[in-house]
């Protein structure tokens, strides 16, 4: 794209959205060159900050007409480089459509247990807004104090309490979407079910490749009557893994079942998130049970007995809400705490059958040792959703190469164990090359065909989610009427 066209587009965007809604200076753009995964970087052409659906549709139409690639962005906490703006061809720049200014709770309907929000709303703000009436929004990624509901929809985000309550897809009832050609459509609805194809289901988890969500109708969940949070510590990590499987096999369904290894325990205890985790433990489990008061203590006793039967050294219940919050602050602040011990942190994401945790964890630590990388794990153990964390220095090319190699081997290990390459963070740019590990070409083609229906020019968030065989420019055949000139 010529510099002349770039300047013309930026000027037109400023004219329509206002000067304060378009960033195009090099220094400003650097803030948006990556998300929370710092290994993939690309400077955008511009970043726009729309305030309503019509502005989003205007921007999308203008860019589509000129064949300029673009991608939506929420808070940029993504851990698969999904919000990194890349073009259709190597070196080409794309425009970021940043949704942060569309951040309102538009409507709350307690009688029908739902709310309508804008996509830039920070996840935890919704729960805060409805807490006094005894409700919350159940999907709670550990990043919930900063990530947006739109980003959660695009990644089908999970979180500690998704073990019992289900991931984002189970809590989205309807979406208003600006399609990649600029039309505004509504998917799903406010009802319990909607007729026709499940396009809402297809959109959730599509990583910004099928359009931009501009309004989200979500399910609200009643806040449980009682919560019991246990901290169990183990001198052997395998014992902790076995306890996880045994708790679920016993028929208990904790609200959350999280594991933290000894490197993470040390990092947390050395940070402002210090939670009182025992420093000499090989691993800790946080087991949270919630529901009606009647019978909950019996369930907690059962979980405690199972932990002891599987080698726990101690199991204690948080004595009050302050202690419970402290235990969770340590877990949810774990990535931040790990971030303090090296210049960069690579948080990986994979999922394996729970029963395979002992052997897979052993394999993961062996890969860390083989590549001489400081590796730790903190993860949603109840659903086998692993997060191996690799601390490294991005200024050291050799170490960066070792991180990528180790990461690839971890993916293969998890797939060979019957798992998958992501439990919740999505594919993004980072894992696009790993998709053939789990899907054959016919299955990838079917996904691409669906994506092409929504995104016929291929301009919306190119390079993410599904590996394309064609560059987006080649897609324009048959869609010339949508393009200027």
Only one residue has tokens 């396009």, namely: 199
The interface region with ligand FAD, picked from 154-162, 249-257, 276-284, 365-373 by CB under 6 A, is: 154-162
CB 337 within 8 A of CB 273: yes
Q: How many CA atoms lie within 13 A of 157 on its CB side?
A: 26
**Does residue 151 bind ligand FAD (CB under 6 A)?**
yes
Structure tokens at 342: 């090296």
Note whether 83 binds ligand FAD by CB under 6 A: yes
Q: How far apart are the C-alpha atoms of 462 and 466, rounded to whole Å?
A: 9
Q: In the complex with ligand FAD, which residue's Cβ is closer, 273 or 300?
A: 273
Nearest alpha-carbon partner for 263 in 210, 207, 194, 341: 341
- State which residue, 172 or 306, has the beta carbon closest to ligand FAD: 172
* Per-residue tokens: 251: 């028929």
- The maximal CA–CA distance of the chain, rounded, in angstroms, is 72
Q: Please count the CA atoms within 13 angstroms of the CA of 217 that sit on its side-chain side.
A: 18
Interaction between residue 288 and ligand FAD (CB under 6 A): no
Neighbour count for residue 134 (Cβ, 10 Å): 12
Residue 368 within binding range of ligand FAD, rule CB under 6 A: no
Question: Which of 42, 55, 127, 148: binder of ligand FAD (CB under 6 A)?
Answer: 148
Q: Which CB sits closer to ligand FAD, 72 or 254? A: 72
Helix (H) or strand (E) holding 200: helix 199-203
Residue-by-residue DSSP string for 423-480: SSS--TTTTGGGGGGT--HHHHHHHHHHHHHH-TTS-BSTTSSS--SS-HHHHTTT-G
Compute the distance between CA of residue 287 and CA of residue 327 in angstroms, rounded to an integer: 11
Q: Is residue 143 part of the contact set for ligand FAD (CB under 6 A)?
A: yes
If one asks whether residue 50 binds ligand FAD (CB under 6 A), the answer comes out as no
For ligand FAD, give the closer residue by CB, 304 or 348: 348
Q: What's the rounded Cα separation, in Å, for the pair 205 and 198?
A: 13
- 35 touches ligand FAD (CB under 6 A): yes
When the beta carbons of 69 and 72 are compared against ligand FAD, the nearer one is: 72
Tokens 């992501």 belong to 422
Applying CB under 6 A, which of residues 69, 150, 188, 456 lies at the interface with ligand FAD? Answer: 150
Examine residue 424 and tell whether it contacts ligand FAD (CB under 6 A). yes
Least CB distance to ligand FAD at residue 7 (A): 25
Q: How far is the CB of 464 from ligand FAD (least distance, A)?
A: 6
Tokens encoding 464: 């993410």
The minimum distance between CB 342 and ligand FAD, in angstroms, equals 15
Scanning 14-22, 73-81, 316-324, 395-403 for contacts with ligand FAD by CB under 6 A, the matching segment is 73-81
Using the minimum distance from each CB to ligand FAD, give the nearer residue, 76 or 419: 76
Count interface residues toward ligand FAD (CB under 6 A).
37
Q: Using CB under 6 A, which of 44, 67, 159, 180 touches ligand FAD?
A: 159
Does position 233 bind ligand FAD by CB under 6 A? no
Residue from 78, 182, 254, 330 binding ligand FAD (CB under 6 A): 78
User: If binding is defined by CB under 6 A, does position 425 make contact with ligand FAD?
Assistant: yes
What is the C-alpha to C-alpha distance for residues 226 and 370, in angstroms, rounded to an integer? 46
Residue 74 tokens read as: 């929420």
The interface mask with ligand FAD, positions 181-220, x = CB under 6 A, is --------------------------xx---xx-------
Sign of CA dihedral 351, 352, 354, 360: negative
- Which residues on neighbouring strands pair with residue 116, listed in sequence order? 107, 217
Query: Between residues 304 and 422, which has the closer beta carbon with respect to ligand FAD?
Result: 422
176 binds ligand FAD, rule: CB under 6 A: no
User: What's the chain's Rg over C-alpha atoms?
Assistant: 23
CA pair distance 395, 467, nearest whole angstrom: 29
Residue list 98-127, contact with ligand FAD (CB under 6 A): 99, 119
256: tokens are 């959350």
What SS3 state is found at 67? coil
Asked if 79 touches ligand FAD (CB under 6 A), the answer is yes
Q: Which of 32, 58, 165, 335 contacts ligand FAD by CB under 6 A? A: 335
Please, which residue, 135 or 346, has the CB nearer to ligand FAD? 346
Interface contacts to ligand FAD, rule CB under 6 A: 35-36, 71-79, 82-83, 99, 119, 141-143, 147-148, 150-152, 154-155, 157-159, 207-208, 212-213, 335, 424-425, 461, 464
């Amino acid at each position: 794209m010529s510099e002349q066209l770039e300047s013309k587009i930026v000027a037109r965007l400023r004219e329509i959205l206002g000067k304060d809604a378009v960033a195009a200076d090099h220094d400003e753009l650097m803030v948006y060159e990556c998300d929370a995964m710092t290994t993939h970087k690309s400077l955008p052409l511009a970043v726009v900050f729309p305030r309503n659906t019509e502005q989003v549709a205007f921007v999308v139409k203008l860019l589509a007409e000129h064949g300029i690639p673009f991608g939506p962005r929420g808070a940029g906490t993504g851990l698969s480089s999904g919000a990194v703006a890349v073009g259709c061809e190597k070196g080409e720049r794309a425009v970021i459509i940043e949704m942060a200014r569309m951040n309102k709770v538009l409507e709350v309907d307690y009688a029908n247990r739902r709310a309508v929000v804008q996509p830039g709303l920070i996840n935890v703000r919704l729960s805060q807004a409805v807490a006094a009436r005894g409700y919350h929004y159940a999907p709670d990624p550990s990043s919930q104090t900063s990530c947006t509901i739109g980003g959660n929809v695009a990644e089908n985000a999970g979180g500690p309490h998704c073990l019992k309550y289900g991931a984002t897809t189970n809590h989205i009832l309807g979406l208003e979407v600006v399609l990649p050609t600029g039309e505004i459509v509504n998917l799903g609805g406010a009802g319990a079910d909607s007729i026709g194809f499940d396009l809402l289901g297809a959109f959730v988890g599509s990583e910004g490749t099928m359009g931009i969500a501009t309004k989200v109708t979500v399910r609200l969940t009643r806040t449980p009557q009682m919560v019991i949070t246990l901290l169990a510590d183990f001198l052997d990590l395998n014992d902790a893994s076995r306890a996880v499987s045994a708790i679920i096999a016993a028929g208990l369904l904790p609200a959350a079942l999280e594991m933290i290894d000894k490197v993470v325990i040390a990092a947390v205890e050395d940070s402002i998130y210090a939670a009182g985790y025992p420093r000499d433990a090989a691993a800790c489990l946080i087991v949270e049970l919630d529901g009606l008061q009647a019978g909950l203590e019996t369930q907690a006793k059962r979980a405690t007995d199972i932990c002891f039967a599987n080698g726990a050294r101690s199991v204690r219940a948080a004595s009050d809400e302050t202690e419970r919050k402290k235990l969770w602050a340590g877990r949810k602040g774990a990535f931040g705490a790990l971030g303090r011990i090296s210049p960069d942190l690579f948080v990986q994401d994979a999922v394996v059958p729970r029963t395979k945790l002992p052997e897979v964890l052993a394999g993961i630590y062996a890969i860390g040792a083989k590549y001489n990388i400081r590796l730790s794990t903190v993860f949603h153990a109840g659903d086998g959703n692993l997060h191996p964390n690799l601390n490294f220095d991005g200024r050291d090319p050799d170490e960066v190469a070792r991180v990528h190699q180790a990461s690839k081997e971890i993916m293969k290990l998890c797939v060979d164990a019957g798992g998958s390459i992501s439990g919740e963070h999505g594919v993004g740019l980072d894992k696009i090359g790993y998709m053939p590990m789990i899907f054959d070409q016919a299955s990838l083609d079917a996904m691409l065909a669906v994506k092409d229906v929504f995104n016929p020019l291929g301009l919306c968030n190119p390079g993410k989610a599904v590996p394309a065989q064609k560059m987006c420019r080649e897609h324009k055949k048959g869609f010339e009427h949508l393009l200027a000139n």
